[in-house]
């Protein structure tokens, strides 16, 4: 069974947690490369310092969503169990589930572009995220190879990336829970989505009680998450 709890913490609260865990004889793994690495099964308790979000060239543009979010400057802790520390509530719990989307955007019919054209997405997207022309063409080619994408330019693939994030901001593709609330889901396969950590860590889509997320190539490569598999992200508490 795959299960991970996430916590967004101020610097002060993070160091209090770190001390509390060390007093219990437990240590935290600090990621120094990709922010998705703490999602790996082998990492029992990991954390992402604020400066890591812009330190990895391959993900710097994509993770600009963090620097413009309300979580900017905060520490992220990811644990494979709920931490038994007083006054500490997890932000989300992530679980691997079996799910097949009932409906996806039709190819070549402009459905993805329609999601991107919505004011909700345009207002939310960071300027750096959208500036793919400033991205080194060699880095774009590297991304395509990592994603296993053939016969598509990075510019065209970027439409898929944007539309997937847009669907977690104002969903057109979603289920309804027992209370009638929308549960947005990913609208692409692993090689069609990007920076899925933004949904898993509630940087995008935090207003929804549940989201169904497909790992991006980076999460599959670095954290070992299932390719083309869905993960349920349930919001349990606000940050801080």
The whole-number average pLDDT for the span 146-162 is 83
Domain co-membership, 106 together with 195 = yes
Domain co-membership, 85 together with 112 = no
State the pLDDT at residue 100: 96
Domain co-membership, 92 together with 109 = no
70: pLDDT strictly greater than 70 = yes
Q: How many domains are contained in the chain?
A: 2
184: pLDDT strictly greater than 80 = yes
pLDDT tens digits, 75-126: 999 999 999 888 899 999 999 999 999 999 987 778 999 999 999 999 999 9
Which bin fits 61, alpha (ψ -120 to 50), beta or left (φ > 0)? alpha
Domain co-membership, 70 together with 118 = no
Domain co-membership, 80 together with 192 = no
Which bin fits 87, alpha (ψ -120 to 50), beta or left (φ > 0)? left
Q: In this structure, is residue 234 part of a structural domain? A: no
State the pLDDT at residue 9: 97
The whole-number average pLDDT for the span 59-86 is 94
Domain co-membership, 44 together with 124 = no
Confidence grade of residue 239 (pLDDT, cut at 50, 70, 90): low
Mean of the per-residue pLDDT values of the chain: 92
Q: Pick the residue with more confidence: 200 or 56?
A: 200
CA-based nearest residue to 202, from 211, 193, 194: 211
Domain co-membership, 58 together with 166 = no
Domain co-membership, 132 together with 50 = no
Q: Is 82 exposed, middle or buried (0-12, 13-18, 19+ CB in 10 A)?
A: middle
Distance (Å, rounded) from C-alpha 237 to C-alpha 126? 25
Last residue of a domain, one of 96, 126, 143: 96
The whole-number average pLDDT for the span 207-224 is 95
Q: In this structure, is residue 240 part of a structural domain? A: no
State the pLDDT at residue 166: 98
Identify the domain containing residue 216 by its residue range: 102-225
pLDDT tens digits, 11-27: 999 999 999 999 999 99
State the pLDDT at residue 154: 83
Domain co-membership, 8 together with 65 = yes
Residue 62 DSSP SS3: coil
240: pLDDT strictly greater than 60 = no
143: pLDDT strictly greater than 80 = no
State the pLDDT at residue 94: 98
State the pLDDT at residue 118: 97
State the pLDDT at residue 147: 67
Residue 73: φ, ψ to 5°: 85, 0
Q: In this structure, is residue 233 part of a structural domain? A: no
State the pLDDT at residue 238: 64
Domain co-membership, 137 together with 170 = yes
The whole-number average pLDDT for the span 129-143 is 80
Q: In this structure, is residue 236 part of a structural domain? A: no
Between strands 92-97 and 174-176, the pairing is unpaired
Domain co-membership, 199 together with 106 = yes
Residue 240 and residue 10 in contact, taking contact as beta carbons nearer than 8 Å: yes
Distance (Å, rounded) from C-alpha 144 to C-alpha 153? 8
Residue 7 and residue 79 in contact, taking contact as beta carbons nearer than 8 Å: yes
Last residue of a domain, one of 96, 117, 141: 96
The whole-number average pLDDT for the span 179-194 is 95
């Amino acid at each position: 069974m795959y299960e991970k709890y996430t916590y967004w913490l101020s610097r002060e609260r993070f160091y209090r947690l770190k001390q509390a865990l060390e007093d219990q004889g437990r240590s935290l793994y600090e990621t120094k490369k990709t922010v998705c690495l703490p999602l790996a099964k082998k990492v029992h308790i990991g954390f992402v310092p604020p400066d890591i979000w812009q330190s990895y060239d391959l993900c710097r543009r994509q993770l600009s969503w963090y620097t413009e979010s309300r979580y900017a400057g905060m520490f992220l802790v990811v644990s494979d169990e709920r931490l038994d520390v007083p006054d500490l509530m997890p932000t989300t719990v992530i679980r691997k589930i079996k799910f097949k989307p009932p409906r996806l955007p039709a190819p070549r019919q402009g459905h993805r572009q329609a999601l991107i054209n919505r004011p909700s997405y345009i207002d939310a997207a960071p300027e750096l995220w959208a500036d793919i022309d400033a991205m080194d063409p060699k880095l774009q080619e590297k991304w395509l190879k990592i994603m296993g994408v053939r016969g598509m330019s990075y510019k065209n693939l970027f439409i898929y990336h944007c539309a997937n994030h847009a669907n977690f901001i104002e969903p057109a593709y979603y289920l309804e829970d027992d209370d009638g609330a929308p549960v947005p889901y990913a609208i692409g396969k692993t090689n069609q989505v990007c920076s899925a950590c933004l949904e898993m860590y509630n940087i995008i889509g935090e207003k929804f009680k549940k989201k169904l997320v497909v790992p991006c190539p980076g999460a599959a490569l670095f954290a070992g998450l299932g390719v083309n598999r869905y993960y349920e992200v349930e919001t349990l508490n606000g940050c801080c």
